[in-house]
Amino acid sequence: MSPLVAEIYGLDYEGQIRVARQVREGVDFKDAVKRSAAVRAKPIVLTGLAAMGGAFYILDDPIFTELAVSLIFGIFVSTLLTLVIIPVVYYPAMHERLHRITAVS
């Protein structure tokens, strides 16, 4: 496993641990997901902006213009997916799982 993949997996696992810890402390699951997403938002946005800012420098080069546009768009979409779509998909999936676990216990 490459270090980058391991780091991304570690960040995802850290987010899941943060949500689980808050739920154990008595925080509502929906609020725990929102808080976890809010904590992760600033580093994700800053990293995306830094990468997009670096890609803006190659927009002037006629050879690399298409590369820069696709790079900027890709970073924007991945940031949007990470901050909006993933928590929206995560909530119903884990909420159902949490209800099954608590119903069995």
Q: Which pLDDT belongs to residue 5?
A: 45
pLDDT per residue as tens digits for the range 82-95: 888 888 887 788 77
- Compute φ and ψ for 40, nearest 5 degrees: -80, -15
Judged by phi (left if over 0) then psi (alpha if -120 to 50, else beta), residue 28 lies in beta
Q: Which pLDDT belongs to residue 12?
A: 57
Contacts of 65 (CB under 8 A, 6+ apart): 58, 59
Question: Which pTM does this prediction carry?
Answer: 0.67
Instruction: Tally Cβ neighbours within 10 Å of residue 24.
Output: 9
pLDDT reading at 4 higher than 50: no
CA 17 to chain centre: 14
Helix (H, G, I), strand (E, B) or coil at 41: helix
Helices in the chain by DSSP H: which ranges? 3-24, 29-56, 65-80, 86-104
- For the residues 9-27, what does the mean pLDDT come to? 69
Contacts of 92 (CB under 8 A, 6+ apart): none
pLDDT reading at 7 higher than 60: no
- For the residues 4-21, what does the mean pLDDT come to? 59
pLDDT reading at 9 higher than 60: no
Q: Which residue has the higher pLDDT, 7 or 83?
A: 83
Break the chain into its structural domains and give their ranges: 3-104
